[in-house]
Chain A
Amino acid sequence: MVVTAKTKDGKEVGSIEKNYHPQGSSCRDEKMAYGAQNKSSYIRDTSLQPLQTKAESIEFDLPVDDKGAPTIRTVDVTVELIYEIQNPDNKFTITRVTREVTLDR
């Protein structure tokens, strides 16, 4: 999942990536491994579990001027859920949600 906040003119304010997948190793060193022939066990599992909610709360601080006042008051936030197959270059988007978020009331 990639969460990105951008100004209206496309300038990135922040971006955060969360990776959801089981992670295995040979258990012979500290390195994660790909390929069943190299993995002997999972050592961590951040995947999306059945009948459970994966919740995140992500924060981006907006820039301020020398008096501490925000210089950007409104951004477009895009949350993109991406599925990667075998490697990060082979991927496709499952869903994408965009929201305008503002400090203004």
Chain B
Amino acid sequence: MRPMRFMLTVAIVASASLAAAADAPKKASSIDELAKMFDSTGCRECHQEIYTQWEKSHHARPFMGVAGGMMLTPVVTASAFKVEKPEQATLKTFPCFKCHLPQALRWAEDSVAQELAAALMANPQDKAKVAKLQITCLVCHSETAIAHRLKDGNPEPGVIYGSKEGAHDSKTHPKMKKSVTLGQSIFCGQCHGTGPNFEFDYPVQCATLYGSYQHNYLPAGGQKSCQECHMAKTKDGFADHLIAPNFDDKEATAALLAKSVHLTVDTLGYQWLRKANTYTPKIVVNTRITHDAGHRIPDG
């Protein structure tokens, strides 16, 4: 009887484990699957203005760079992370995913990286496929909404994280919970980084805004948050989800920079005397540039 009881126990434990595995969310094995998992088009129904702002933002096209450029092409073709064939690509050969596609870290199989590499290496490139990979509403309001996961756990399925608690009029996300960090600079700092990313086998350095904010702006006495400037409330009372600048809109970006960067010019014309009777006529132009940003300019 004893061996039989042991086998029964093993069988029950095994079947329970299988059931748990079956319940666990499955990782995306294709770009379409990953895009569908984080599809936020449903948000537009109630949050039209915010959605429209986001659609014009760089977060809506994190791999398209500026003016439709395919910024990942040199990563797969001419860098330390290059691959000879798309099949060689993995999540690790795309260090950019850390910030440009953070949902991939937990929810994508290597096959997503392979499909992306194939789209980038195709001739002509499959821009439509690359464009499907976005930092959508669900990436910020769910996947990256909790910074202190050791204490607060992973984001819960069906929950939208923001500034309120309560019910949320959505079939897929019927609950709202308050995110401790979403309204603070640390939230943006998760991606708009601090310095070299040493966790990769070849250290990469991308955006360092948050490092600049921490090490230069705060020590100089600045106290504004990223959100106060880049997500200021619009006339409807909600944060601006364009998260300017949009570098594809040069006119608006120039206006934004003209408003925050200040140039003072003072001049002098005179004749400099270094030794007796030997004058050098000179024009002196003294310039002083200051700005109101909470980080170095330029940075990202």
* Chain A complexes with chain B: yes
- Chain A residues within CB distance 8 Å of chain B: 1, 3, 5, 13-14, 20-22, 24, 35-42, 45, 47-62, 64, 68, 70, 73-75, 77, 79, 81, 83, 85-86, 90, 92-95, 97, 99, 101-104
User: Are B271 and A70 in contact, with the CB atoms below 8 A?
Assistant: yes
User: Are A64 and B281 in contact, with the CB atoms below 8 A?
Assistant: yes
Instruction: Identify 11 new A-B residue pairs, CB closer than 8 A, beyond the known A37-B96, A47-B296, A99-B285.
Output: A3-B287, A49-B212, A49-B216, A50-B291, A73-B269, A75-B283, A83-B254, A83-B298, A93-B254, A94-B263, A101-B283
Contacts A3-B287, A42-B205 given: A59-B293 contact, CB under 8 Å?
no
Q: What is the count of residue pairs linking A and B with beta-carbon distances less than 8 angstroms?
A: 178
Distance (whole angstroms) from the CB of B75 to the closest CB of chain A: 5
Chain B window 289-300, contacts with chain A (Cβ cutoff 8 Å), 1 for yes, 0 for no: 111011111110
Most buried by A among B75, B289, B291: B289
Closest to B284 in A: A59
B81 CB–A CB distance under 8 Å: yes
Contacts A53-B290, A94-B254 given: A41-B271 contact, CB under 8 Å?
no
User: Are A77 and B291 in contact, with the CB atoms below 8 A?
Assistant: no
**Chain A residues, Cβ within 8 Å of B287:** 1, 3, 55-56, 58, 79
Distance A45 CA – B296 CA, assembled complex (angstroms): 10
Distance (whole angstroms) from the CB of A42 to the closest CB of chain B: 7
Q: Which of A40, A51, A57, A90 contacts B221, CB < 8 Å? A: A51
Docked complex: B73-93 residues within 8 A CB-CB of A: 74-75, 79-81
User: Are A68 and B278 in contact, with the CB atoms below 8 A?
Assistant: yes
